[in-house]
């Protein structure tokens, strides 16, 4: 996971930062080379076909929510800042550098010069302002869509304004340290103002960005075709054409790859890992993921209002057995509510070990010597953190039964499931979270802060309301110093561990497979398929 | 006949209204919130409120329905909640793929099914009769996804005769006129595209045809057996006609009426049954569209697709009724 280049650059960056800090009294991101540039093409040319489980829903990066669409838009568009090639550190992209006012409220980004959109429109401050305002300003005439992610990523923004021809300024309502990571997210990609004006509501079928691939054609629910942007400011992509196909059935997708009609695929069934490993033409890619799967206990309901009961459940679940049986052995048993791939993870927290005896003892202490009956809600939809939902739910049911907890399994179709758990109808529910931007706030605040326990809209579905945790998480939002923020998050994880509102289950792995001719491919921890540095052997 | 047709066409209006009302009610009263699904795990309370207002989901249901109906009458079925696409446009793009698949499957099922049924009936209790009816029973009870994968494994993956999935290779250029690729290829005299589209069509069409084929074969057999016991058939035989002539000239036409009915009804089942086939073969049709739309509670899209499927179903069965009159001179509509 570690990228040698970023380490080599670390010192000059820190020095440059220090110099700027002294010179201007502001915190600044210095101009630096990107970790993506280091990955040169071994060969130019060819057509790369990537098969994923669904075709895109739309191609307007600001107005999509699903990962399949994002795998398309992320190859066509750039953001002001971007995540590093192998991690979630934020680097310059369309913005060469940026400054933050001492109070953390005003962020000014200086744009790269000479960049053009695929339709020839020059990228300048006005274009960037236009692109952001259409998703941010609800009265904007081009605000014609859902723009769901803007609600979340630009939530702390008060105003957005072009400064001169080559700078863009964001003024925040309150200091928000994770703002820079939000800007790197796919939805804040910059679109051509000319194309937006030209296509209006149909812009989602005519994506026009500045990125490494140019849009050619989209046959909905089938495939999209892109060609190399040979004038790309970051250097042309290695392949000439990129095709992204939607092939819903996992087995059929694998057969297509074995035949060679696609070269990369997502979402491999765990039982197929062995088949891929046994095929000399294929490679299975695995790496730690940026997600967590968990059982939330509704602390507002008896008997889960008793911490002893919640700890008893933590002792009763055998996580390594789940990982072996249902994740092809490549996930990791979870300890904290966020994965260790994120900074701020507390490595000193010791997991509750698997011990039916301890679970029974705690149940007896809490007044349930013979256990109790309850319900376990489970979502009938495979996710990276929940590869085989029904089997995992059944395994949990039998593990809990050994400690005397008789859980009836309850499920609903995904949309209904989300509603019911947000309403807090469940005593216990299995759910998970896939990180958006590699910031601890994106896990801990969203999933376990008392601010997010409003019935009907709760994302904290344990309805866990700890003032101690809340104070730490709010403080961590307000300071910009990452080391200090990390300390707050580490403390919060200790409190959460002791209060045990969840049984953290697993950190799901990120998995993909590809043909051996594919070079320089790695699936980003955010599980977005950035393909512009991939090249093909003949 | 003209008046009858006109009356039946006018009857489409209340049918369409009924379909719209029922689908609207069912989709809106099903638990699950399109806003929550769109925003997913990330919904903030403000975002939920805002989006609900944007999609005009705050109005009482009757008012929402009234507005929808008003627009639908002007040919505007609204825009998809998921991606803002006009529902009519989505239907125009996707329905042809399903029609192509359904028609191909129906042709296979009718041709092979009728032929099998006729032979089985003509040689009742022969080995062919027994074997074909067992196979038909097998075909009827086979899970489609399993059959589809098996066909892919044998004919596409192992033998390489057909492509594994998709509707057309991305390397093949085609000018889209009707979006029925086979028709488009013929219209533009694009023979490589025609060949490619046909090869893509074979496996999914055979998969989709299996169940109706089995039903049609069994129906044809039993219907023909019944007709063969009629007096006029005995008369024909007594005249000294060959068995082949008895069956083809005298019995078959009369045996067809229930078969045609079954075929008509199966078109509806096929439009629905295409969902699984389309998923296995990555076929970009309306079956997958409607499933995705249902899971996303994309109300306008669900309503639009179901409306069109219902209308097609009604039209096909109108066609069936008309064909009765053609087959049997005693049936007259006035």
pLDDT, tens only, B257-316: 888 888 888 887 787 668 889 999 999 988 888 888 888 788 888 888 888 888 888 888
Residue A6 pLDDT greater than 70, yes or no: no
pLDDT band at A11 (very low <50, low <70, confident <90, very high): very low
Average pLDDT over residues A386-397: 93
* pLDDT at residue B41 in the model: 59
Identify the residue among B29, B32, B281 best suited for mutation to test binding to A, counting A beta carbons within 10 A and taking the highest: B32
Average pLDDT score over chain B: 86
Residue A243 phi, psi (nearest 5): -115, 130
User: A381: which residues sit within 8 A by CB, 6+ positions away?
Assistant: A389, A414, A417
* pLDDT at residue A10 in the model: 39
* pLDDT at residue A89 in the model: 83
* pLDDT at residue A1 in the model: 33
Identify the residue among B48, B57, B79, B83 best suited for mutation to test binding to A, counting A beta carbons within 10 A and taking the highest: B83
Least Cα separation, residue B53 to chain A (angstroms) = 11
Residues of A in contact with B90 (CB under 8 A): 220
User: Measured between CB atoms, does A64 come within 8 Å of chain B?
Assistant: yes
User: B45: which residues sit within 8 A by CB, 6+ positions away?
Assistant: A454, A457
Give the model confidence (pLDDT) of B42-95 as tens digits. 666 666 777 777 777 788 888 888 888 888 888 888 888 877 788 999 898 889
pTM, two decimals, is 0.85
Between CA A437 and CA A155 the distance in angstroms is 15
Of A7-16, A46-55, A238-247, A377-386, least confident by mean pLDDT is A7-16
Evaluate whether A131 touches A190 at the Cβ level (below 8 Å): yes
Evaluate whether A131 touches A193 at the Cβ level (below 8 Å): yes
Of A91-105, A118-132, B237-251, least confident by mean pLDDT is B237-251
Give the model confidence (pLDDT) of B214-232 as tens digits. 999 999 999 999 988 888 8
Give the model confidence (pLDDT) of B149-196 as tens digits. 999 999 999 999 999 999 999 888 888 888 899 999 999 999 999 999
Of A185-199, A319-333, B72-86, least confident by mean pLDDT is B72-86
* pLDDT at residue A14 in the model: 39
Identify the residue among A49, A148, A207 best suited for mutation to test binding to B, counting B beta carbons within 10 A and taking the highest: A148
Evaluate whether A88 touches A181 at the Cβ level (below 8 Å): yes
Residue A217 pLDDT greater than 90, yes or no: yes
pLDDT greater at residue A119 or residue A85: A119
* pLDDT at residue B140 in the model: 82
* pLDDT at residue B39 in the model: 66
User: Measuring CA to CA, which residue among B94, B61, B46, B12 is closest to residue B312?
Assistant: B12
Directed axis angle between helix A482-499 and helix A467-478, to 10°?
170
Residue A12 pLDDT greater than 70, yes or no: no
User: Measured between CB atoms, does A231 come within 8 Å of chain B?
Assistant: no
For residue B319, the tally of other CB atoms under 10 A from its CB is 13
User: Measured between CB atoms, does A55 come within 8 Å of chain B?
Assistant: yes
Give the model confidence (pLDDT) of A522-535 as tens digits. 999 999 999 999 99
Contact: B37, A58; criterion CB under 8 Å: no
Contact: B83, A416; criterion CB under 8 Å: no
Between CA B45 and CA A470 the distance in angstroms is 18
Tell me the helices (H) and strands (E) count for chain B, helix number first: 14, 0
Nearest CA in chain A to B149: A252
Evaluate whether A288 touches A340 at the Cβ level (below 8 Å): yes
Residues of A in contact with B84 (CB under 8 A): 58, 63, 144-146, 201, 204
Residue B285 phi, psi (nearest 5): -105, -165
Residue A40 pLDDT greater than 50, yes or no: yes
Residue A16 pLDDT greater than 80, yes or no: no
What whole-number percentage of chain A has pLDDT above 70? Answer: 93
Give the model confidence (pLDDT) of A41-63 as tens digits. 889 999 999 999 989 989 999 99
pLDDT band at B330 (very low <50, low <70, confident <90, very high): confident
Nearest CA in chain A to B278: A248
* Degrees to nearest 5, angle at CA A70 with A68 and A72: 80
* pLDDT at residue A15 in the model: 39
Residue A229 phi, psi (nearest 5): -90, 100
Residue A490 phi, psi (nearest 5): -65, -40
Average pLDDT score over chain A: 89
Give the model confidence (pLDDT) of A123-161 as tens digits. 999 999 999 999 999 889 998 877 878 888 898 999 999
Give the model confidence (pLDDT) of B124-133 as tens digits. 889 999 998 8
What is this model's ipTM?
A: 0.85
Nearest CA in chain A to B38: A65
For residue B295, the tally of other CB atoms under 10 A from its CB is 15
For residue A516, the tally of other CB atoms under 10 A from its CB is 12
User: Measured between CB atoms, does B170 come within 8 Å of chain A?
Assistant: yes
Residue A28 pLDDT greater than 70, yes or no: no
Average pLDDT over residues A337-344: 91
User: Measured between CB atoms, does B37 come within 8 Å of chain A?
Assistant: yes
Identify the residue among A49, A151, A377 best suited for mutation to test binding to B, counting B beta carbons within 10 A and taking the highest: A151
Between CA A223 and CA B167 the distance in angstroms is 10
Between CA A187 and CA B192 the distance in angstroms is 40
Average pLDDT over residues A21-38: 50
Give the model confidence (pLDDT) of B3-55 as tens digits. 888 888 888 888 888 888 888 888 788 777 777 776 665 666 666 777 777 77
Average pLDDT over residues A216-242: 94
* pLDDT at residue B327 in the model: 78
* Kind plus residue range of the DSSP H or E element containing B236: helix B231-238
Residues of B in contact with A219 (CB under 8 A): 284
User: Measured between CB atoms, does B45 come within 8 Å of chain A?
Assistant: yes
User: Measuring CA to CA, which residue among B28, B80, B54 is closest to residue B292?
Assistant: B80
Average pLDDT over residues A314-337: 93
Residue A25 pLDDT greater than 60, yes or no: no
Contact: B45, A149; criterion CB under 8 Å: no
Contact: B48, A457; criterion CB under 8 Å: yes
First to last CA, chain B: 6
Cα–Cα distances (Å) from A245 to A220, A234, B144, B241, in that order, read: 10, 25, 23, 59
Q: Radius of gyration of chain B from Cα atoms?
A: 24
Between CA A483 and CA A475 the distance in angstroms is 13
């Amino acid at each position: 996971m570690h990228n040698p280049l970023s380490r080599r650059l670390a010192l000059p960056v820190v020095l440059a930062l220090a110099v700027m800090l002294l010179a201007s009294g502001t915190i600044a991101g210095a101009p630096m080379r990107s970790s993506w540039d280091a990955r040169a093409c071994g060969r130019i040319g060819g057509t790369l076909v990537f098969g994923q489980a669904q075709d895109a829903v739309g191609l307007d990066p600001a107005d999509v929510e699903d990962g399949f669409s994002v795998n398309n838009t992320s190859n066509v568009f750039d953001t002001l800042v971007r995540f590093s090639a192998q991690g979630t550190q934020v680097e310059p992209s369309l913005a060469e550098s940026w400054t933050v006012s001492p109070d953390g409220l005003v962020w000014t980004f200086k744009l790269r010069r000479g960049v053009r959109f695929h339709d020839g429109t020059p990228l300048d401050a006005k274009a960037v302002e236009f692109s952001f305002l259409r998703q941010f300003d609800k009265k904007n005439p081009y605000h014609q869509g859902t723009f769901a992610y803007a609600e979340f990523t630009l939530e702390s923004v008060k105003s957005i304004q072009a400064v001169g021809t080559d700078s863009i300024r964001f003024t925040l309502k309150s200091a928000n340290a994770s703002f820079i990571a939000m800007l790197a997210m796919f939805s804040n990609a910059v679109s051509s103002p000319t194309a937006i004006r030209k296509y209006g509501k149909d812009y989602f079928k005519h994506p026009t960005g500045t990125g490494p691939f140019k849009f050619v054609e989209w046959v909905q629910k089938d495939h999209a075709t892109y060609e190399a942007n040979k004038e790309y400011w970051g250097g042309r992509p290695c392949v000439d054409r990129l095709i992204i196909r939607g092939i819903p059935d996992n087995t059929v997708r694998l057969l297509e790859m074995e035949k060679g009609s696609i070269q990369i695929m997502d979402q491999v069934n765990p039982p197929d890992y062995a088949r891929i490993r046994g095929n000399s033409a294929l490679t299975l890619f695995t790496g730690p993921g940026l997600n967590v799967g968990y059982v939330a206990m509704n602390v507002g309901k008896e008997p889960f209002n008793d911490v002893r009961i919640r700890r008893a459940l933590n002792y009763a679940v055998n996580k390594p057995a789940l990982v072996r049986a249902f994740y092809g052995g490549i996930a990791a048993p979870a300890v904290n509510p966020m994965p260790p791939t994120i900074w701020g993870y507390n490595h000193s927290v010791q997991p509750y070990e698997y011990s039916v005896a301890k679970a029974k003892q705690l149940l007896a202490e809490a007044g349930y010597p013979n256990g109790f009956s309850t319900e376990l809600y489970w979502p009938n939809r495979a996710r990276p953190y929940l590869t085989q939902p029904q089997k995992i739910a059944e395994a949990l049911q039998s593990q809990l039964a050994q400690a005397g907890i008789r859980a009836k399994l309850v499920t609903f179709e995904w949309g209904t499931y989300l509603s019911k758990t947000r309403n807090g109808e469940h005593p216990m529910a299995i759910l998970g979270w896939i990180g958006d931007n590699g910031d601890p706030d994106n896990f801990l605040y969203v999933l376990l802060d008392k601010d997010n326990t409003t019935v009907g809209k709760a994302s904290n579905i344990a309805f866990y309301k700890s003032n101690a945790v809340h104070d730490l998480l709010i403080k961590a939002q307000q300071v910009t110093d990452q080391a200090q923020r990390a300390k707050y998050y580490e403390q919060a994880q200790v409190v959460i561990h002791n209060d045990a509102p969840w049984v953290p289950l697993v950190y799901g792995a990120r998995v993909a497979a590809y043909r051996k001719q594919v070079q320089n491919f790695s699936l980003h921890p955010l599980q977005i398929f950035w393909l512009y540095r991939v090249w093909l052997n003949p | 006949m003209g008046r009858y047709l006109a009356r039946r066409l006018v009857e489409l209006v209340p049918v369409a209204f009924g379909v719209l009302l029922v689908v609207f009610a069912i989709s809106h009263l099903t638990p699950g919130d399109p806003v929550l699904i769109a925003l997913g795990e990330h919904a903030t309370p403000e975002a939920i409120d805002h989006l609900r207002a944007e999609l005009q989901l705050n109005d009482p249901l009757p008012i929402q329905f009234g507005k929808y109906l008003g627009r639908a009458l002007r040919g505007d079925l609204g825009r998809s909640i998921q991606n803002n696409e006009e529902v009519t446009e989505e239907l125009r793009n996707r329905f042809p793929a399903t029609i192509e698949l359904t028609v191909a499957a129906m042709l296979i099922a009718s041709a092979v099914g009728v032929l099998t049924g006729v032979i089985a009936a003509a040689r009742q209790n022969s080995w062919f009769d027994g074997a074909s009816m067992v196979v038909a029973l097998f075909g009827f009870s086979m899970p489609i996804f399993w059959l589809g994968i098996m066909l892919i494994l044998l004919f596409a993956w192992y033998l390489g005769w057909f492509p594994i999935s998709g509707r057309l290779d991305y390397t093949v250029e085609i000018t889209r006129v009707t979006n029925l690729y086979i028709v488009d290829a013929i219209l533009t005299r694009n023979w490589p595209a025609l060949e490619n589209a046909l090869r893509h069509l074979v496996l999914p069409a055979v998969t989709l045809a299996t169940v109706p084929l089995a039903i049609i074969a069994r129906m044809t057999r039993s219907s023909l057996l019944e007709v063969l016991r009629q007096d006029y058939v005995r008369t024909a035989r007594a005249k000294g006609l060959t068995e082949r002539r008895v069956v083809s000239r005298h019995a078959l036409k009369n045996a067809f009426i229930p078969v045609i009915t079954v075929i008509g009804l199966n078109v509806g089942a096929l439009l629905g049954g295409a969902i699984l086939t389309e998923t296995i073969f990555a076929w970009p049709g309306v079956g997958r569209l409607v499933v995705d739309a249902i899971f996303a509670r994309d109300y306008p899209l669900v309503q639009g697709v179901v409306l069109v499927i219902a209308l097609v179903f009604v039209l096909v069965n109108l066609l069936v009724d008309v064909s009765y009159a053609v087959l049997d001179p005693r049936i007259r509509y006035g």
